[in-house]
């Protein structure tokens, strides 16, 4: 590498249920592009983090496998990237305990997502939720990651990871690079029922298109999606937020500028536009759905992908842990 610093990218998603087209364009597809630019690319299923807000973990295992299959179906290349499940690498938890010794509680209490999550999940005011950023710092630092692609809501967590890395290095000696946040573009896709809200799995089935919705369900969801007053198919976020959102979705699937789509639908009705949009989404998701169904048919395959990922991840994680133990003075 001629002394050039390695670009180590790590990111993760929580296996909390259905993925939707917002996750696809806002996370999965950017990850697929990013894997090309990294020396090492780690993609993690953050099952322990999911546990912080789950009231019932009976679907957690299946959701973890589904998320890993969605990574592969979207185009994550196992020759370039390592897909693994957080809880299968015990060193994440081990490092988190060590990092907790140098993390001030007020820093965690001031974390804006802690407040939000506590409000959203009033029954889950557990220590895991408060310590969430410590585990996340551990996920990142254990691979000596240099870059972390995340949405805006996650950037306070990466700031905390940087702070923890600095504290560790100052106190025990240099081990961790300070990871850079690679901010993913703002949520681009909004709810089909309430276009002022971002599309999210938390606001009801009718509000989002899931990656694995059937053609009939997609047609129905687009048919009942809210529209705006007037009849022109025109991008105007302020006065026509619903139609603008549908145009955005059309443009993302067709990789076409919105202006062109507006021209195509000049003089046409909302109903005609929606009918076409549903077919465009169905066509766009078909290859991904096909790959996913193939993976679903052979469950042993994804398990072996994850075993292989865990082996590769653990090799690095255990080396870092050894270094950490030595620096701290644990015998």
Nearer to ligand ADP, 175 or 217 (CB): 217
Point out which span in 180-188, 226-234, 241-249, 259-267 binds ligand ADP (CB under 6 A).
Answer: 180-188
Given 169, 200, 289, 318, the residue binding ligand ADP (CB under 6 A): 200
Point out which span in 49-57, 65-73, 111-119, 187-195 binds ligand ADP (CB under 6 A).
Answer: 187-195
Given 8, 9, 10, 13, the residue binding ligand ADP (CB under 6 A): 13
For residue 190, count other CB atoms closer than 10 A to its CB: 24
Q: How many Å apart are CA 267 and CA 260, to the nearest integer?
A: 14
What residue has token string 């967590």?
A: 157
Residue 134 binding ligand ADP, by CB under 6 A: no
Query: In the range 151-190, which residues lie near ligand TRP by CB under 6 A?
Result: 154
232: three-class secondary structure by DSSP = coil
Given 8, 11, 43, 249, the residue binding ligand TRP (CB under 6 A): 11
Residue 46 binding ligand TRP, by CB under 6 A: yes
Q: Shortest CA distance to 43 belongs to which of 13, 85, 83, 89?
A: 83
Take residue 304 and report the two structure tokens written for it.
């072996």
Q: How many helices (H) and strands (E) does the chain have?
A: 15, 5
Q: How far is the CB of 91 from ligand ADP (least distance, A)?
A: 25
Residue 202 binding ligand ADP, by CB under 6 A: yes
Residue 45 binding ligand TRP, by CB under 6 A: no
* 8 Å CB contact between 222 and 271: no
Residue 252: contacted member of ligand TRP, ligand ADP, none (CB under 5 to 8 Å, by partner type): none
Give 45's strand partners. 13, 85
List % helix, strand, coil for the chain (3-state, nearest 5).
60, 10, 30
Residue 91 binding ligand ADP, by CB under 6 A: no
* 8 Å CB contact between 20 and 67: no
Find all residues with CB under 8 Å of 140, minimum gap 6, and list them: 10, 148, 158, 161, 179
Residue 26: contacted member of ligand ADP, ligand TRP, none (CB under 5 to 8 Å, by partner type): ligand ADP
Residue 49: contacted member of ligand ADP, ligand TRP, none (CB under 5 to 8 Å, by partner type): ligand TRP
- Interface residues with ligand ADP (CB under 6 A) are 13-14, 22-23, 25-27, 150-151, 184, 187-189, 198-202
């Amino acid at each position: 590498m001629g002394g050039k610093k390695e670009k180590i990218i790590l990111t993760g998603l929580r296996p909390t249920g259905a993925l939707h087209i917002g996750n696809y364009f806002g996370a999965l597809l950017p990850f697929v592009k990013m894997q090309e630019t990294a020396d090492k690319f780690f993609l993690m299923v953050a099952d322990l983090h999911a546990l912080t807000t789950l009231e019932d973990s009976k679907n957690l295992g299946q959701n973890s496998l589904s998320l890993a299959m969605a990574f592969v179906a979207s185009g994550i290349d196992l020759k370039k990237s390592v897909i693994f499940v957080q809880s299968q690498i015990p060193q994440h938890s081990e490092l988190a305990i060590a990092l907790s010794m140098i993390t001030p509680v007020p820093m965690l209490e001031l974390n804006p997502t802690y407040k939000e999550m506590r409000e959203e999940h009033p029954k889950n005011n557990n220590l895991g939720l408060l310590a969430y950023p410590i585990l996340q710092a551990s996920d990142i630092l254990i691979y000596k990651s240099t870059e972390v692609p995340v949405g805006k809501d996650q950037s306070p967590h990466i700031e905390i990871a940087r702070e923890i890395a600095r504290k560790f290095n100052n106190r025990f000696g240099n081990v961790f690079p300070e990871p850079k946040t690679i901010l993913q573009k703002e949520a681009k896709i909004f709810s089909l029922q309430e276009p002022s809200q971002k599309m999210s799995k938390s606001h009801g089935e009718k509000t989002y298109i899931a990656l694995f919705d059937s053609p009939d369900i997609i047609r129905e969801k687009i048919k009942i999606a809210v529209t705006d007053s007037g009849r022109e198919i025109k991008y105007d976020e302020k006065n026509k937020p619903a139609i603008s959102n549908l145009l955005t979705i059309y443009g993302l699937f067709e990789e076409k500028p919105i202006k062109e789509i507006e021209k195509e639908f000049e003089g046409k009705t909302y109903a005609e536009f929606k009918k076409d949009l549903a077919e465009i989404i169905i066509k766009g998701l078909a290859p991904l759905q096909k790959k996913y169904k193939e993976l679903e048919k052979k469950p042993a395959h994804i398990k072996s992908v994850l075993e292989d990922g865990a082996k590769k991840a653990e090799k690095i994680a255990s080396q870092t842990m050894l270094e950490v133990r030595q620096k701290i003075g644990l015998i």
